[in-house]
Structures are given as C-alpha cells and as structure tokens.
Amino acid sequence: MNTKIISCEQDLQTAVCEAAGLILNGEVVAIPTETVYGLGANALCDVAVSKIFSVKGRPQDNPLIVHIADMEMAYEVANVSQTARRLMEEFWPGPLSVIVEKKDCIGDGVSAGLKTIALRMPKNEVAREIIRKAGVPIAAPSANVSGKPSPTLAKHVYEDLNGKIPLIIDGGPCEVGVESTVVQTVGVEIPTILRPGDVTPEMIGKIMGEVVLHESVCGKTTKNDVVMSPGMKYKHYAPKASVYVYEGDKKTVEKNVCSMYHNCKENAKNVVVFCMDDTAKGYEGLNLRLFGKDAKSAEAKFFAELREADQAKIDTILFHYENEMGLAIKNRIIRAAEKPQGEVTKTK
C-alpha cells in the first residue's frame, strides 16, 4: 500500500476531505491531535476498528479512545454522568479522556469487551474538523507500532506505518507531546486517574474536590496486578536503547549518573544523559539531551528525543528525573525503562 502524506499547511480542505472520506470507507488514517498523532477509524464500524489493531500490532484486550467533535456526539455513544459532564465542561476540548458507560452503538472491538469507553474531544482543530466532516466518532490510539514511543510528528508515523495505511495528515508538531490524561468515572466514588497527562491531578482536584491516582501510574505493573487501565500492563514507549531512571537527591544522582556514564564509555557504549536545562551544569562534557525548564517543555520533547536516540544508535539512556518534569513524564519513563517481565530499571 502506498502511504500518502497531506500537509494541512499546504491544503487543509483536501486533507480534511480525504481523511474523512477514507474513514467513512472503513480505512484507518493517521491524524494530528494536540497530544500525539492518532490512528483513526470509524468507531461505529467493527471491521474498520479491527484494522487499527492489526496495523499497530495492538493486543485485542487494550481498549481504544473514542474521539468526538461535540457534546451531541458524546451523548450518542455514551451515558454521561454528572461527574463526567463536569470534567468535560471544564477540560474539553483538550487532553483529557473521560471513561463513561458506553451505549450499544459502540462495539466490543473498541471497548475490548468492557461496558465502558474512554471519550475525548481533542483541542486540535484539524482533528475536530475531520470528525465533523466524517460525521462519526473516531476511535484512535496513538499512531505508533505497539510498544514504540508515541508519534509527535508526521514523520514518526511514517517511520512506523509506511506501507500499512493509506494516508497521514501532517498537522505539524503536537503541541502537548504526551497522551491525554485518562480518568475513570465509572464504578469509583472519586474520579481516578489511570494515566497522567497534561491535565494534572491538581487541575482535576480543584474542579472535582477530590481525585485519586491509580497505583499503576507511578509504580511498576506486573502481570498479576488487577489493572484497571488495561493499557498499563503492556510494554510501552520503548526505544531500542536500555533506559535507566535516576531520581532523588540531586548531588547523589549526578554522582551516580556520571559514574554509570563513564562505565558505559569504558565498555564502548553509545550513551546519553537526558536531563533538564538547569541540571546540565552537573554533566559538563557528557553527551546530553535537554528537556527545558518545566513539565510542558519536557512533555513536548520527550517522545521525539526517544526516537532520535534510536536514530543516533544510542544504546544506553541515563534519565535524570526531577519533579519539575511532572507526573506524565515519570509515568512514561518508568514504562520505557520497563523490561518485558515488568521489572523496572530504576536507581534511587
């Protein structure tokens, strides 16, 4: 299959029309959102949805997020509780997926057999325009091959899915850079964050009074865990390099990172340190990649840097995590460092 790329900057109307047309025809298309690129298909069509799973190599028991353009569409596909509506009113359009009870028009393929679905109204105008034009809700996971870092540029999608999908809509770099915050509102008394994102627990707590973080957010997940968020039990975001996460007292971390770095060098490893701008002075002379000054800049750079490390044939990443990077990065880097058996390479 020939994979076409259409740039929104050059021809927005063609981009929207071709994407919507293919989606209505039961095809899967990569579309930009403000978080990461999504691999979209008609959420009301089982055959189209099954193509998402085969293109990505995604496990069948990992449910998809359903993207909608307006509240009317939300009510067509789900029963929206008061709690869910409050969250939607506050954070939509935006990087928040709210889990609600699904209606029958959404098949088991989308929900992986669950009675619930995650709903999201993206802030990205192109994404909403494609949904509007197609006139159907769009199921879309991140547009990467399962297990790989999520795509924040059209070229990342191309690297993973060239030849497997008919069309990639290039909407430029994703503004946020990490996937949406996923919040459970069904079967819990207090809204529960299953996956942290740009909408923080503090922001949700302020609106809802209370919020809970699911234990899998910052811990390792094992196969025996009862995982409320099915996606969290799989290997995620993994670059080819081995990832080591360092966290704690800055001076101690710097000492440990430097010692590991030199050790790698002695063993002819291609090693890099990932850290925040202000921390760079502790690593003078080392091969460094910088993540800016706050969570927003770290999120915007994170996945692209993991992919670039692969391009540069890096085989060891030493990640100096600091709280300023935020929970979304902590969650992703723990997953990236996870070995297939669920063992985390983390150094205090």
Report the residue closest to Mg ion, judged by CB.
142
Looking at the Cβ atoms of 106 and 290, the one nearer to ligand TXA is 106
Phi, psi of 168, rounded to the nearest 5 degrees = -120, 125
How far is Cα 2 from Cα 137, in angstroms, rounded to an integer? 26
Residues within the interface to ligand TXA (CB under 6 A): 33, 35-36, 38, 62-65, 95, 97, 99, 111, 114, 116-118, 120, 140-142, 179-180, 182, 194-195, 229-231
Shortest Å, Cβ 33 to ligand TXA:
5
Looking at the Cβ atoms of 120 and 320, the one nearer to Mg ion is 120
Mask 90-129, x = binds Mg ion (CB under 5 A)? ----------------------------------------
212 binds, among Mg ion, ligand TXA, none (CB under 5 to 8 A by kind): none
Shortest Å, Cβ 131 to ligand TXA:
11
Report the residue closest to ligand TXA, judged by CB.
231
SS3 213: strand
Shortest Å, Cβ 13 to Mg ion:
29
Peptide bond into 93 cis (omega under 30): yes
Shortest Å, Cβ 327 to ligand TXA:
15
239 binds, among ligand TXA, Mg ion, none (CB under 5 to 8 A by kind): none
149 binds, among Mg ion, ligand TXA, none (CB under 5 to 8 A by kind): none
Looking at the Cβ atoms of 289 and 332, the one nearer to Mg ion is 332
Binding flag, residue 33, Mg ion (CB under 5 A): no
Instruction: Classify burial at 50, counting beta carbons within 10 Å of its beta carbon; exposed 0-12, middle 13-18, buried 19 or more.
Output: middle
Sign of CA dihedral 200, 203, 204, 206: positive
- Strand 96-102 relative to strand 29-31: parallel, antiparallel, unpaired? unpaired
Looking at the Cβ atoms of 83 and 229, the one nearer to ligand TXA is 229
300 binds, among ligand TXA, Mg ion, none (CB under 5 to 8 A by kind): none
HSE of 217, CA atoms in CB hemisphere, 13 A: 20
How far is Cα 348 from Cα 346, in angstroms, rounded to an integer? 7
Shortest Å, Cβ 150 to Mg ion:
5
Q: What tokens appear for 170 in the block? A: 């290039």
116 binds, among Mg ion, ligand TXA, none (CB under 5 to 8 A by kind): ligand TXA
Residues 123-182 that bind Mg ion (CB under 5 A): 142
Q: Are 12 and 126 in contact (CB under 8 A)?
A: yes
Shortest Å, Cβ 56 to ligand TXA:
9
Q: What tokens appear for 313 in the block? A: 């044939």
137 binds, among Mg ion, ligand TXA, none (CB under 5 to 8 A by kind): none
All residues at 6 or more sequence positions from 131 whose CB lies less than 8 Å from its CB, including other chains: 67, 68, 69, 73, 137, 138
Give whole-number Cα distances, 322 to 7, 51, 281, 293, 298, in Å: 36, 39, 15, 11, 11
How far is Cα 77 from Cα 11, in angstroms, rounded to an integer? 31
Q: Catalog residues that contact Mg ion under the rule CB under 5 A.
A: 142
